[in-house]
Chain A
Amino acid sequence: GESVGLHLPTLSVQEGDNSIINCAYSNSASDYFIWYKQESGKGPQFIIDIRSNMDKRQGQRVTVLLNKTVKHLSLQIAATQPGDSAVYFCAEILNSNSGYALNFGKGTSLLVTP
Chain B
Amino acid sequence: EAQVTQNPRYLITVTGKKLTVTCSQNMNHEYMSWYRQDPGLGLRQIYYSMNVEVTDKGDVPEGYKVSRKEKRNFPLILESPSPNQTSLYFCASSSNTPTGGGNTIYFGEGSWLTVV
**Which positions in A face B, CB cutoff 8 Å?**
31-32, 34, 36, 41-46, 49-51, 89, 91, 93, 95, 98-100, 102, 104-107
Contact = CB atoms under 8 A, between A and B. Distances in A.
Given A43-B110, A95-B97, A102 B41 contact: no
B105 A34 contact: yes
Contacts of B4: 43
Contacts of B45: 102
Interchain residue pairs A-B with the least CB separation, the first 6: A106-B42, A43-B107, A43-B109, A44-B107, A95-B97, A104-B43
A63 to B, nearest CB: 15
Contacts of A43: 4, 90, 107-110
A34 B100 CA distance: 9
Interface residues of B, number: 22
29 contacts: A32-B99, A32-B100, A34-B104, A36-B107, A41-B110, A42-B109, A42-B110, A43-B4, A43-B107, A43-B108, A43-B110, A44-B43, A44-B107, A46-B105, A49-B104, A50-B100, A89-B42, A89-B43, A93-B98, A93-B105, A95-B98, A95-B99, A98-B50, A99-B50, A100-B96, A100-B97, A102-B105, A106-B40, A106-B42
Contacts of A104: 42-43
B106 interface: yes
Contacts of B96: 99-100
Contacts of B41: 106
Contacts of A107: 42
A41 B110 CA distance: 8
B6 to A, nearest CB: 8
Contact of B100 (A51, A89, A106): A51
A44 B99 contact: no
Contacts of B107: 36, 43-45
B5 to A, nearest CB: 11
A14 B104 CA distance: 31
A44 B100 contact: no
